Amino acid sequence: MAPGGLRALAGMLTPVRESEPEIRYARSGDVHIAYAVTGEGPLDLVLVEGYFTHLGIMWEQPAYRRWVHRLASFARVIRFDKRGMGLSDRVQVGTLEERMDDLRAVLDAVGSERAVLVGTSEGGPLSLLFAATLPDRAAALVLVGAEVRERVTADWPWGERTDAQFEQEIAEIARGWGTLGLSRDRYPTLEPSDSDRMFEWSKRLVRESAGVGEAIAFKRMAFEIDVRAFSGSVHVPTLVLHRVGDRICHVGNGRFLAEQVPGATYRELPGDDHMPWMNPAGGEEILAEIQEFLTGRRESQVPDRILATVLFGDLVASTNLLSAIGDARYRQIVELFLDAVRTELHRYRGREVDTAGDGFFASFDGPARAIRCAQAVVAAARRLGLAVRLGVHIGEVEVVGDKLAGIAVHIGARIGSLAQGNEILVSSTVRDIVAGSGLRFTDRGQRTLKGLDGEWRLYAVDEL
C-alpha cells in the first residue's frame, strides 16, 4: 500500500490490488507445512512444484498468478511449500516418504478426501509415489515437464547432469548463494528485458526459499531420485505433458513416463520453456490440456481481433538502482511507481494488461490518450527520482481472455525497449493518427526492431 503522500498524489484513484491468498499451516508430525488455497471449483487440485518454492514470492509473479487463477476457474487449487523451504518450517528437506506425509497432511487440513496431483519438474516423482501408494487419495495424476531421473548415466541419457557437473553446481551454490537465480534456460522464450526482470525476481525467490545448507541438501536429495522402478505402479487416470524442447528436463523423461504409466495419456507440446506457466502464451496450451483431461471440456481459444493502442514502460537502469539501495527499498520504490502508473491509467481510460518486476503493459482505445498517459507517467517517475522508458504502437491485436497477443504487441514492446530514460517513442502509424491533437514529435529515424523484418521509423514525443 502506498504511503499517504503518494495516495494524495493519486487522488484516491488507485485500484485496489488483488490480495495474496491467506497462508495457513498443516502439521505433519513435528513440522509445520505452509499452504494456501485459491478458488472454489468442484475438483481439488494440488500443485506439487519443483525446485525452490515460496508461497508469497511466487504469488508476486503475474504469469504465475494467471496460471493459478486459470486452474482455479475449474478447481480448488491447493499450493504448499516443501518442508525446509519457503514459509514452511526450516528443517531438513526430507525423503520422498516424509514429503508424501506432508502432502497428505495438507490435504487433510483443507478437508480434501481425493485430489488431482499436478506434479511439475522435481515435484513429479513425489506425485508419482503418492498416486501409486495412496490411490484412494489421488483422483488423477498430471505430470508436466516431470523428472524421472536427474543423473545422466549410460542407461539414462535424458538426465540433467553428470556426477561431475552436479558437484560443480553444488560448489557454485556454496560459493554464490544469495546471488544465484533460476537458470535462464527455464524461460528461454522471454524477451531480453523481460528475462532480466524474471532473473532478478528469481534471485529473491531462490534466496528466500532456502538457506545454503538446505539448498544443497535439497539438490542432493533430488539428484538421487529415480522413479523408473515404480512408474509402472500408478493406477489412477494420468496425463503426461512435456514440451518437446524443454531446456531443463529432456522430453525423453515425458516419453518414458507415457510408456510406463499404465493407460497414460501423452501430449507432446511445442516450446522450450521448462516452467509450465512460462512462455509467451502464459502456459495456455498446457492449461487447456489439463482442463480437458479433468473436465472433458476446454475453453475456446479462438481469439477476437480488435484495433488497439499498446503502451509498454519500464524503469531504466533498475538493476543498478537495486544494487545501490537493496531489495527492500527497491521494492518499495517500484510499488510507488506502479501505484502512480495505475492512477494515470485510470485517469486516461487505459487498461493494465500485465506487470512484471518494474515494467508494465497497458492498452488504450486511442493513441492520443496513450501518449498523454505516458507523459503523465514520465512526470510521476521524475517526482520519485526515477527514469522510465516508454513505447507506443497501434495495430490489430488478438484478445484471448484478459490477454493481448499478436504482432502489434511485439512491435510495441520492441519500440519501448529502444527508448532512452524519460523518453516516449512511437511508431509512424501512431504519429500519423494523432495529427491535430497538438502533440509534437522529433524524428528518430529508421530503426531495426529485433525479430521483425524491415526498418521502422520512430518518433520521440516532445516534452510538455
Evaluate whether 301 touches 357 at the Cβ level (below 8 Å).
no
CATH of span 15-295: 3.40.50.1820
Evaluate whether 117 touches 131 at the Cβ level (below 8 Å).
yes
Q: What is the pLDDT of residue 385?
A: 87
The CA distances from residue 372 to 88, 368, 441, in Å, are 46, 6, 13
Residue 373 has pLDDT above 80, yes or no: yes
| Residue-wise pLDDT tens digits, 129-185 | 999 999 999 999 999 999 999 999 999 999 999 999 999 999 998 888 877 777 666
Residue 297: CA count within 13 A, CB half-sphere: 4
Q: Residue 371 CA to chain centroid, in angstroms?
A: 29
Give the domain ranges of the chain. Answer: 15-295, 304-461
CATH of span 304-461: 3.30.70.1230
Pairing of strands 403-405, 351-356: unpaired
Query: Rounded distance, CA 365 to CA 101, Å?
Result: 53
Q: What beta strand segments (E) does 211-357 contain? A: 238-243, 265-269, 304-315, 351-356
| Residue-wise pLDDT tens digits, 219-261 | 998 999 999 998 999 999 999 999 999 999 999 999 999 999 9
DSSP state of 366: -
